[in-house]
A and B are shown apart, each in its own frame.
Chain A
Amino acid sequence: QKEVEQDPGPLSVPEGAIVSLNCTYSNSAFQYFMWYRQYSRKGPELLMYTYSSGNKEDGRFTAQVDKSSKYISLFIRDSQPSDSATYLCAMSRYNFNKFYFGSGTKLNVKP
């Protein structure tokens, strides 16, 4: 079993929809949680990061961490075609070192 599980999708939504992306994990020692966006043939781009449980909002993006359920989410409001990409969750035990990534969810936002 992988330490971080993520539904690969693809997830297809109309422009303007609210998107929910999720990851589950098995290691309760994870404390740092990140979301990256990756366009085709590009490196991952940091979107948001949080420490421990709770919510964090940045513009159209909201990240949630529920450590009791070992479940993290990324919500995208008013989705745009430019949001079409693969979204990767990542987590680590100590600081932001040695990330464990999910396999990524491919999102397609249709105009």
Chain B
Amino acid sequence: GAGVSQTPSNKVTEKGKYVELRCDPISGHTALYWYRQSLGQGPEFLIYFQGTGAADDSGLPNDRFFAVRPEGSVSTLKIQRTERGDSAVYLCASSFNLGGINQPQHFGDGTRLSIL
């Protein structure tokens, strides 16, 4: 596809369950980013990948959150033992690298996660 694709678009689950959120970046984009957006707030950085490796995971709130990008393309954000406070829209973005510098990020439409 032309843009960043995120699946599912909506996810409702019970407190304590495990969830996986998938991001398919724009073809050729080497950098991939995850953000979390709560209602009425701007996106909050979680983690970014340069290729297969996590270049900066300083935004992950605790060890229940984990993300992978094993082949340098698709990424999965994993949340264990979900809590009601994890309810938010999880946004993925990607960018291409030009001359060693990552360019501005392009976002998907997000996964709306609701924890009951």
Contact = CB atoms under 8 A, between A and B. Distances in A.
Contacts of B103: 96
B42 interface: yes
A4 B56 CA distance: 20
Contact of A43 (B4, B45, B55, B58): B4
Please report whether the interface of chain B is mostly helix, strand, loop or mixed according to DSSP. Answer: strand
Contacts of B43: 44, 88, 90, 99, 101
A103 B41 contact: yes
Contact of A104 (B42, B44, B104): B42
Interface in A57-111: 88, 90, 95-104
Contacts of A90: 42-43
Contacts of B101: 95-96
A97 B106 contact: no
Residues of A in contact with B, size category = 20 to 34
Interface residues of B, number: 29
A96 B95 CA distance: 9
A53 interface: no
Q: Identify which of B58, B101, B105 gathers the most chain A CB atoms within 10 Å of its CB.
A: B105
B91 A44 contact: yes
Contact of B105 (A41, A96, A102): A96
A98 B44 contact: no
A21 interface: no
Interface of A: 4, 6, 8, 34, 36, 41-46, 49, 88, 90, 95-104
20 contacts: A4-B42, A41-B112, A43-B91, A43-B109, A43-B110, A46-B106, A95-B101, A96-B95, A96-B102, A97-B31, A97-B55, A97-B102, A98-B48, A98-B58, A99-B33, A99-B45, A100-B45, A101-B42, A101-B43, A103-B40
